[in-house]
């Protein structure tokens, strides 16, 4: 099974930046669509961003577009989420996810398309 481990979360001031990382096990990382989701207290988990296996396609939720940047380094089996201009509404647990059929069917935002999930990392933005 693919194992995903998030890191880089923490407490940041309004307008600040954080860089999250997702380290993946296995040799098939380079074939997976990767994505970030988040879940705020009292709310359902929502899509944040996704990146195709070869990084030629990215998708972002409207709420983070222009502020967040998703990237990956297949040689290191790692995906990143650069978060800039952070707002209190960005406060949530951020989860890394992997889709092993994204290479065939494309990059999607649906949670149901992602088979592997990390344990999450907390991001808190103070106002």
* Cα–Cα distance, 50 to 69 (Å, whole number): 10
Q: How confident is the model at residue 103 (pLDDT cuts 50, 70, 90)?
A: confident
Whole-number pLDDT of residue 105:
80
Q: How confident is the model at residue 78 (pLDDT cuts 50, 70, 90)?
A: very high
Average pLDDT (77-106) is 94
Is 80's pLDDT higher than 80?
yes
**Contact by Cβ (8 Å): 49, 58:** yes
* More confident: 87 or 31: 87
Whole-number pLDDT of residue 121:
98
């Amino acid at each position: 099974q693919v194992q995903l481990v998030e890191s880089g979360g923490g407490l940041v001031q309004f307008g600040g930046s954080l860089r999250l990382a997702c380290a993946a096990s296995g040799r098939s990382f380079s074939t997976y669509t990767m994505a970030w989701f988040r879940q705020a207290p009292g709310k359902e988990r929502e899509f944040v961003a996704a990146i195709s296996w070869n990084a030629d396609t990215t998708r972002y939720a409207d709420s983070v577009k222009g502020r967040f940047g998703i990237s990956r380094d297949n040689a290191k089996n790692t995906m990143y989420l650069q978060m800039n201009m952070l707002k209190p509404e960005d406060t949530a647990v951020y989860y890394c996810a992997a889709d092993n059929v994204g290479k065939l069917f494309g990059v999607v935002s649906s949670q149901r398309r992602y088979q592997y999930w990390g344990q999450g990392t907390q991001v808190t933005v103070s106002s």
